Amino acid sequence: MNQAVETMNPAAAPAEDISRQIAAALNTAFQKQRQSYLADPVPGLEQRREDLRSLKRMLSENLDEIVNAISEDYGNRSRHESLFAEVIAVTDGVNDAIKQLGKWMKPQKRHVDLTLYPGGKNRVFPQPLGVVGLIIPWNFPINLSFSQLTGAFAAGNRAMVKMSENSIALSRLLIKLSPRYFPAEKLMWFEETGGVGIEFSQLPFDLIMFTGSGRTGRAVMASAAKNLTPVVLELGGKSPAIIDPDFPLEKAVERILFVKQFNAGQICTNVDYVFVHESQREAFIEKCREWVKKHIPDINSKDYTSIIDDRSFQRLEETLADAREKGATVVNLSGDQPGNRETRKMPVHLVLDTTANMTVRNRETFGPILMVLTYGNPEEVIKYVNGQDRPLALYPFTKNKELCQLYIDRIMSGGVTVNDALFHVAQHDMPFGGVGPSGMGHYHGYEGFVTFSKMRPVFYQANFTSMKFLAPPYGRFATKVFDFLVKFKG
């Protein structure tokens, strides 16, 4: 069944027939998981832990194949980056969930109003939602799928996972491997063959989690609304870094450029643009050149990741061309080494002197392009960022605690890393998610467990209840009681 969608041949039938076949295959898979959920709606602690262990084994026992498949999809993906961002991060999250799960699953005691309900008890039971749908992008396909599955399985759910059209080699590998670790009633993977995502988002899941662009996120949300399916959206955006002139500039540069070149900048929480104090503009450029010369002497190295596809490479080239044509200063930090269209390797670029009509100002770059804005005082930064869509992340670099808190208080973002970038995402005991146009909802750690659970309130009535004395017809006694309670509680 996992391969039912994969094996369809769009050239062999009209588009409407293919769409019906895809919908039928997905619905069959969904119904199988729905029936499995209804037969065993609340898996116990040990079953959930075993599911998490199986998830970890699926990754660890097939590590080389998985890393190689990701690299094949990219053209070249640094093995070290895959190990760091895909494998280590996921394993940490799974291990933490296994350790904490018993505590997370315990019913929670809640306060009871003893004035009206003496002897009653309140409890909140975390229970599985049922069948969840995960729509995964190509940039960190294992991290995003397995970290979301960690929350879904910890909460006791079944899951269907739709992979990206840019993750074909990995999708086919996961489709092949999955039955060794999970029955189809628990977990199924789907390759994007064209039209799968549309039909997938129309299934009546109990929750859909989508990671990707804002435009596609809106379409997913619209499809989900037809079934009143709740959604969690992680959408990215233009995340700023701010360098306080009193912060060591060299340290800020090395930390910002490390994450900017990581995965060739193709990270939703990456630094999209940086505010540099107007007195440090030239020093910032020079230190960026020095860092790249030392750490990326040749972009054709296997340690430097390719842009995912030709369309994305062209988009980045067009972004730079648009900036140049409209008067921006574009700095290739690799000097004379140009981008390589054949291998889709692109040097890290700085773009300065930008104006509001440039593409680089208005679109998430999602690549190794860093826009540089200068500022004179913090209010200029706050005004500019608050004039844009709320970002997925904020990165203040400062040793001044009051200034740091000012930025955190005055600029709303999905998350924050102080004096570095990106690494709040790697904390498995911290919620991760956007706000407004950068997303909604959270996952990771306990918040992920809650997201994939129905936190179900249950009130237990006592043997004796005073409510029988307050039933209609309302007499003098009921009037006195209600009048007293209004005054007492007021």
Catalytic residues: 234, 268
Backbone φ and ψ of 456, nearest 5°: -90, 115
Integer angstrom CA distances of residue 485 from 107, 119, 122, 211, 480? 31, 18, 21, 49, 9
Beta bridge pairs of residue 306: none
Query: Which one-letter amino acid corresponds to residue 29?
Result: A
Backbone φ and ψ of 13, nearest 5°: -155, 160
> Which run of H or E residues covers position 146?
helix 141-154
C-alpha–C-alpha distance, residues 391 and 8, integer Å: 39
C-alpha–C-alpha distance, residues 296 and 293, integer Å: 6
Integer angstrom CA distances of residue 274 from 315, 445, 478? 21, 30, 66
Q: In this structure, what DSSP letter does residue 241 have?
A: E
C-alpha–C-alpha distance, residues 41 and 36, integer Å: 8
Query: Which one-letter amino acid corresponds to residue 467?
Result: M
Which residues in 453-489 are b (16+ Cβ under 10 Å) and which e?
bbeeeeeeeeeeeeeeeeeeeeeeeeeeeeeeeeeee
Please choose, from the candidates 144, 146, 137, the residue with its C-alpha nearest in 3D space to the C-alpha of residue 97.
146
Backbone φ and ψ of 62, nearest 5°: -130, 30
C-alpha–C-alpha distance, residues 125 and 151, integer Å: 16
Are the C-beta atoms of residues 339 and 264 closer than 8 Å to each other? no
Please choose, from the candidates 288, 276, 260, the residue with its C-alpha nearest in 3D space to the C-alpha of residue 422.
260
Q: In this structure, what DSSP letter does residue 208 have?
A: E
Beta bridge pairs of residue 370: 350
Q: In whole angstroms, how large is the CA radius of gyration of the chain?
A: 26
Centre a 10 Å sphere on the Cβ of residue 194 and count the other Cβ atoms it contains.
14
C-alpha–C-alpha distance, residues 378 and 109, integer Å: 45
**What number of residues does the chain have?**
490
Integer angstrom CA distances of residue 25 from 4, 87, 181, 201, 294? 6, 31, 22, 14, 52
C-alpha–C-alpha distance, residues 490 and 483, integer Å: 11
